Amino acid sequence: MFEKIVEVLSQYTEFPKENMTEETQLVDDLELNSFDVMTIISDVEDEYKISIPDEDIINFKTIGDIKNYLESHT
């Protein structure tokens, strides 16, 4: 699952894929803005065929947050 998320994220950031960890920060490390994050999550939703409410997305700060969310919701 982690690899799949990293694959999606690497489409949106210059941050090297191999350096991404669960602790990697979406805004600070990957330099994504809130609009980028929304766009990325819609890709993740398509990939996992789920729908994530906006209020949950606000809590995604790290790659690990997305992974944990998907693990408990898919």
Partner 1 sequence: MKPYPYYKLDSITDLKMLVAKRAEETPEKTAFIYTDDDGSVRTVTYKAFLADINAAGTYLAAAGIKDTNVALLGENSYEWVVAFFAVADGGNTAVPMDSRQPADNIRDLIGYGDCTAIIYSDKFRAFAESLTEIRTFPLSSFAEWISAGNEEIKKGNTEFTDYPVDPEKMAVLVFTSGTTGKPKGVMLSQKNLAEDVNYAVKNFVLEGTAMTLLPLHHMFGLGMGIFGVLNYEYPAYICRSIRSIAKDFQIGKPQTIFAVPMIVESFYKQFMMMAKRAGAPALPPEAVQQFFGGKLKNIICGGAPLDPMYVEAFRKWGITVLNGYGITECSPVVAVNRNEDYCDGSVGRVIPGCEVKIAEDGEILARGGNVMLGYYHNEEATKEAMAGGWFHTGDLGKISEDGYLFITGRIKNLIITHSGENVSPEEIEEKLLQDPAVSEAVVYGEDNVLAAAIYPEPSAHTELPYFQALADRLNAKEPAYRQIKKIVLKTEPFVRNSTGKIVRSLIGKA
Maximum pairwise Cα distance, the chain = 30
CA pair distance 36, 31, nearest whole angstrom: 9
28-47 positions binding partner 1, by CB under 8 A? 28-29, 31, 33-36, 38-39, 41-42, 45
φ/ψ bin of 13: left (φ > 0), alpha (ψ from -120 to 50), beta (otherwise): beta
In the bound state with partner 1, the residue whose beta carbon lies nearer, of 25 and 68, is: 25
55-74 positions binding partner 1, by CB under 8 A? none
> Which residues form the interface with partner 1 (CB under 8 A)?
11-15, 27-29, 31, 33-36, 38-39, 41-42, 45, 54
